[in-house]
Amino acid sequence: MLLCVCFVPQMQLYWLIPLGISPLLLLFFHKKPTLPSAQKNFAVVYALALAFCSLLVSNNAIYCAKLFADTDAFVFFALYFATFAVAVTVVCVIATLLKRSGIWFALATLVAIVACLPFKTLAMAIVTFVATVLTMSFVLSSAIVCGKHLDDACKLLDKQKTHRKMLLTFCAVPYCVANVFFLLTVGFGSSDGVAVASLTSDIVSVVALFVLLFVHLRNPMDFVSLHKMKLVENNVEDVDCQAVRQQLYDRLSNDSNYSFAILLKYTLDKLLKMKVVGMEKVQETGACFVANHYEVYGPFITEAKFPRVFRPWTESMIVNKKTLTRQLKSGIEISTRKWLIKPVRRRIAPAVAYVLWRVVNCARPIAVYRNDAEKMQNMLKETVDAMTTGDSVMIFPEKPPAGQNYKNGDIDKLQTGFTEIAPLFQQKTGKQMNFYPLFIDKKHCRMIVGEKVTFNPSNQPHEEKQRIAEQLYNELKKLSEQCGY
């Protein structure tokens, strides 16, 4: 398609015939996807991304041609696209070997901004050329890596691979429409019209890539799905692989992520510094970690930096949108009463609660209930199921004295309710459960895994609950003192 630029001065209507027919031909290869959510998301996002990337490349080629007005048009465009193709291939191979998907798409979006810069010198032309090379390379690399993951998922789940055919189908229409419109404008438009069309195409392309980045982040083929795939591929002994396989299929067929939460997680993972010490002590695939709360810092930093895929225990009122809105409403209205009118104040709490609720639920929390026996039992069962399907569990059981906040670096006494997981875990797996203390050291930017505490079924239930909580408290207290608190 891009080679059509070579023939802009002599462009005839017969070019529209193959361009118009190709989408109809490709529709014959379209089949209903077997993993609807993941495969369709992949096809739509990358088809549109490649279409808009092609606009950046075509526009750059037209402007570069003005700097070489004395060169034969066909020779110039042939050399341009040959160099472009070689450069994209080299960068794409290197990027693909690094096995990243979302990161490359995000970098392509950011680098594309440079391609919008106006240039009249050779130096700026080279910079813009490099930007377009990187943009196309990173989008292609992301597509290759994501497509490979989908191939592996289809193979594991014994499902048909349809995303390549879908990609071709979805590519045809936007790719043809975008390029034909651009080429017709350049070929038959006035000089002023061409300049406006070129600038517009660049801006629209960059905006579209930003939008597509957020759509891409909704793809359920994320770190959780890759973790599940790895468990099934390796047939891990202490995991119910059949249940994991079903979870993986359900996730890729029905689930979608909250783009803002995923982007926030990846960004914080790159920006924050946190060293994890002692993970070699943990042998289980699905382990239970008991951590100090440290106000909001504990849950926040573990979600951003802890190396295991885990599910956190979270207060039920935070997991539920209605109760969360009620919790935020009074505080927000009081704090904004002096400078916001009432109709606006009333709408802030639901908006903030919705974003917070979506972010929290993206972490796949296990809702913690305290005064409902049936819900508590379901919570414990859900926890055991999570551990037997390869997810770790993160619990923050500190209980500061009434009216006080969590201590800065010190440890408050632990509640004992979380220990009831152990007998249910043994009942389901026949194994004694281990609890691993995790001390979050904010001052030295460390997470330290302490010595495990193992459930002993021969002890009296009440005494065993107290023993486990006390030993974990002592271990966390010792780690706190070693860190200088």
Which residues contact residue 370 at a Cβ distance below 8 angstroms, ignoring those fewer than 6 apart? 376, 417
Q: Is residue 444 located within the same domain as residue 308?
A: yes
423 pLDDT band, cuts 50/70/90, is: very high
Q: Give the mean model confidence (pLDDT) for residues 45-66.
A: 84
Looking at the predicted structure, is the pLDDT value of residue 20 above 80?
A: no
- In a domain? residue 333: no
Distance, CA of 262 to CA of 442 (rounded, Å): 23
Looking at the predicted structure, is the pLDDT value of residue 299 above 80?
A: yes
Looking at the predicted structure, is the pLDDT value of residue 241 above 70?
A: yes
Q: Is residue 184 located within the same domain as residue 286?
A: no
- Burial class from Cβ neighbours inside 10 Å (0-12, 13-18, 19+) for residue 209 reads buried
Alpha carbon 75 to its chain's center: 43
- In a domain? residue 387: yes
Report yes or no: 458 and 446 within 8 Å, Cβ to Cβ: no
Q: Last residue of a domain, which of 184, 202, 217?
A: 217
- In a domain? residue 52: yes
Q: Last residue of a domain, which of 217, 243, 266?
A: 217
Please give the pLDDT value at position 403: 55
Q: Is residue 195 located within the same domain as residue 283?
A: no
Q: Is residue 180 located within the same domain as residue 282?
A: no
Highest mean predicted confidence (pLDDT) among 89-93, 316-320, 481-485: 89-93
- What are the helix and strand counts (H, E) for the chain? 17, 8
Number of domains within the chain: 2
Report yes or no: 448 and 438 within 8 Å, Cβ to Cβ: yes
Q: Give the mean model confidence (pLDDT) for residues 9-24.
A: 49
Residue range of the domain that includes 456: 274-313+366-482
Looking at the predicted structure, is the pLDDT value of residue 66 above 70?
A: yes
Please give the pLDDT value at position 8: 45
- In a domain? residue 293: yes
- In a domain? residue 308: yes
- In a domain? residue 95: yes
Tokens at 22, concatenated: 């190709």
Least confident of 162-176, 357-371, 419-433: 162-176
Q: Is residue 88 located within the same domain as residue 199?
A: yes
CATH number of residue 14's parent domain: 1.20.1250
Please give the pLDDT value at position 21: 56
Q: Last residue of a domain, which of 217, 235, 262?
A: 217
Q: Is residue 174 located within the same domain as residue 299?
A: no
- In a domain? residue 358: no
Looking at the predicted structure, is the pLDDT value of residue 422 above 70?
A: yes
Least confident of 5-19, 140-154, 176-190: 5-19
Looking at the predicted structure, is the pLDDT value of residue 348 above 90?
A: no
State residue 456 phi and psi, 5-degree precision: -115, 105
- In a domain? residue 303: yes
Q: Is residue 18 located within the same domain as residue 142?
A: yes
67 pLDDT band, cuts 50/70/90, is: confident
Q: Give the mean model confidence (pLDDT) for residues 154-165.
A: 89
CATH number of residue 461's parent domain: 3.40.1130.10
Q: Is residue 304 located within the same domain as residue 424?
A: yes
Looking at the predicted structure, is the pLDDT value of residue 181 above 50?
A: yes
Per-residue model confidence as pLDDT tens digits over 90-129: 999 999 998 888 899 999 999 999 888 877 788 888 898 9
Q: What is the pTM of this model?
A: 0.85
